[in-house]
Amino acid sequence: MSLALLKEHYTNKNIIMSTKNWPLWEVFVRSKNGLEHRHFGSLHAADAEMALENARDVYTRRNEGVSIWVVESKDITASNPEHNGELFEPAQDKVYRHPTFYDLPDDVKYM
Amino acid sequence: MKNENLYNYILGIADNSLILGQRLGELTGHGPSLETDIACTNMSLDLFGQVRSYYQYAAKLKGGDATEDTIAFLRKERDYVNVLLVEQPDRDFAYTMARQFLFDVYHLLFLQELQKSHDITLTAIAKKSIKEVSYHQRFSTDWIKRLGDGTTVSHDKMQEAIDSLWTYTDELFHQTAADKAMVAEGIGVDVTALKVKYYSLVNAVLEEATLKIPESKWFQKGGKKGIHTEHFGYILSNMQYMQLAYPNMEW
């Protein structure tokens, strides 16, 4: 086998290998009506329908949920940890942005 | 035994789920991906849950020292009356899903009828199982379509699996003596009446999955009479090992 052919062979093989991996999906589960969906974890699936079925089997088999959302991980835009300084630190010394300067009546829960 | 027909009838239902559950359980840690591995184990556990209810009922009918465990583990090969389909091995994932699909379609039709039984215990078990089995059917149907209508390789593997397992489908609709007696009492399901519906449901999925419907009219039978394929002894020795090595052991 010539070197050029060999190279082509491995290139093709790599293409096949890479398509063999199912894309990654993020799973969000609502545990009870009235609560928000929470991130439960991630899994691999070929498409959205399979992702839902897999999520059902992997994350909700002990009656954990009443609703599942799946979203392909690549569709999530995440903040860059390197920018944490500029994004979050300026808020640290601005205590007046927290509503801690007035008394809450005892009857008000979940604040 | 007073209710021998009912006892045998219950085994005829439960043994299918026991052996299929065992087959699916063998895949634990060997599934093609983590997600499908867990899915197969889930189905296995669903089936074992159903099996426990059936065998507990059977043990009560049998009386004496009988328990769900003695019925599940301590019978001889010829005393297991599951259909041949469920004991077929997991050659690859296409086989596993084809076997599951060919059984699930039957299982769901069967439970829908069993809900109408005059025996309230069987009605209750059927009602509880239907949700689980509906999901099994959805899962396996999905995979028939995915692999059948997938790549050339997946299509060929699924076609081969369907072609090989097809010969075991007809036995699902054979009536045993216990069946006939229970149908007459309004307790049992007349399986012969499910056949037309079964093949029309199965064929519709196969067509959607671009698979050929096998034409062979020659079918295997025997499981319902305790005459099993060569695979069965291996399943049984695996299942019975603990009870034989440590009689009466408890987990």
- What are the extents of the domains in chain B? 4-245
Q: Do A53 and B34 touch (CB under 8 A)?
A: no
Task: Catalogue all structural domains in chain A, each as residue range(s) with its CATH number.
Answer: 22-75 (3.10.20.520)
What's the pLDDT score for residue A19? 47
Using the beta-carbon criterion (under 8 Å), do A61 and B42 form an inter-chain contact? yes
What fold does the segment set B4-245 form as a domain?
Ferritin (1.20.1260)
- A44/B34 CB distance under 8 A: yes
Chain A: residue nearest B45 by CA?
Answer: A61
Query: What pTM value is reported for the model?
Result: 0.84
- In this prediction, the answer to ipTM > 0.90 reads no
Instruction: Name the closest residue on chain B to residue A56, using Cα atoms.
Output: B39
Which residue of B35, B139, B146 is in closest CB contact with A58?
B35
- Two tokens, residue B22: 């065992």
How does pLDDT run along chain B (251 residues), one tens digit per residue? 779 999 999 999 999 999 999 999 999 888 888 889 999 999 999 999 999 999 999 999 999 999 999 999 999 999 999 999 999 999 999 999 999 999 999 999 999 999 999 999 999 999 999 999 999 999 999 999 999 999 999 999 999 999 999 999 999 999 999 999 999 999 999 999 999 999 999 999 999 999 999 998 899 999 999 999 999 999 999 999 988 888 888 77
Angle between helices B93-114 and B120-148 (to 10 degrees): 150
Give the dihedral of Cα atoms B214, B220, B221, B223; nearest 10 deg: -100
Q: What pLDDT does B21 receive?
A: 97
Q: Which residues sit opposite A27 in a β-bridge?
A: A41, A70
Using alpha carbons only, what angle is made at residue B198 by residues B197 and B203, rounded to the nearest 5 degrees? 100
